[in-house]
Amino acid sequence: MADKFSSFFLKHGFKVMMVGFTISVIGLLAYMKFRYEGNLIPQIAFGTTIFGFAIYVFGRVFVAISRRQAKKPTETQKSEQG
């Protein structure tokens, strides 16, 4: 189960990162528009901004992991070098 989870996010980390960024920007724009309103919308928009940023960071971590795994030399490259 965890292997499927990690392999999915390693393949689609950039998409997750972009979705998180989009959610964060939408939440921020909603917060900026409704911040002086006396209702619940600014609080929900601020929470949405934090949630979007967390998704962005989550996707960014998986993008970094996938790039790091791609840079590691394989067994054949190691044997050819030494």
Its pTM stands at 0.76
Any domain includes 6: no
The percent of residues in the chain predicted with pLDDT above 70, rounded, is 88
Question: Under 8 Å CB-to-CB from 16, ≥6 apart: which residues?
Answer: 9, 55, 58, 59, 62
d(CA 58, CA 77): 31
Any domain includes 80: no
Q: 5 pLDDT exceeds 80?
A: yes
Q: 17 pLDDT exceeds 80?
A: yes
Token representation of residue 41:
């919308």
Band (7; pLDDT cuts 50, 70, 90): confident
pLDDT tens digits, one per residue of 49-68 = 999 999 999 999 999 988 88
Domain count for the chain, please give it.
Answer: 1
Domain region containing 23: 12-67
